[in-house]
Amino acid sequence: NQGDIAKAKQLLAESSYNGEEIIMLSPTDLGVLTPLGLVLKPLLEEIGFTVDAPTLDWSTEVGILFGGEEFWDKWDIVPMGFGFYGLHDPITDGFATGGTFINYHNQTLKDLRAKWVTTLDQDERDTIVDDMQLEFYRDPPFVILGMFHAIHPYRTYVKGFKSTRAMPHHTNVWIER
């Protein structure tokens, strides 16, 4: 999180990268995601990566991402957004499973999650979660480029609605006039 292009160039030069083409999927028809690709591609190229960003619509991109093993070699980077809904404990967090639709596999996370599920002592569970978070930094399934929160306006006669940072909850909501 330094914004240091010179350092990024240096780190790339020290890496094993040899100019191989990186395929970045970024839809051209989804207002919240399209700008991510438009910003990320030139930055990666400035650092020294060779980037191919094919023109895709969102439905084609989703077909590639969820298409299974036969599509795993069709992309390297996918700037996208997540509604962090349920990413607050190792049971509901899809990445804590150690395997996801994006061909991310991490046996250490799988083992830690299984240990967390079977542990009753809260202090030990907290330690396991700390270990899981360290593993996310050691072997990240994604890199957070930024955050934003949607606005969820509602009228005073809408009752029971609770606005959250990620996604609104519409359970037990009613109109009272």
Q: What is the DSSP string of 73-101?
A: GG-SB-------SSTTSTTT-TGGGSB-T
> Residue 165's closest CA among 177, 146, 152?
152
Please compute the mean of the pLDDT values over residues 39-52 and round it to a whole number.
Answer: 96
pLDDT single digits (tens) 118-166: 999 999 999 999 999 899 889 887 777 777 667 777 888 999 887 766 6
CB atoms within 10 A of CB 136: 15
Decide which of 69 and 14 is more confident.
14
Radius of gyration of the chain (CA): 20
> Residue 47's closest CA among 3, 88, 91, 98?
3
Q: What is the chain's mean pLDDT, rounded? A: 85
Q: pLDDT band for position 25 (50/70/90)?
A: very high
List the single range of 22-31, 53-62, 73-82 with lowest mean pLDDT. Answer: 73-82
Query: What's the whole-model pTM score?
Result: 0.67
The per-residue pLDDT for 133 is 87
36 by DSSP, 3-state: which? Answer: helix
The per-residue pLDDT for 100 is 65
Please compute the mean of the pLDDT values over residues 54-70 and round it to a whole number.
Answer: 88
List the single range of 5-19, 28-42, 111-125 with lowest mean pLDDT. Answer: 28-42
Q: Is the pLDDT of residue 87 over 60?
A: no
The per-residue pLDDT for 120 is 94
Handedness of CA 8, 14, 17, 18 (dihedral sign): positive
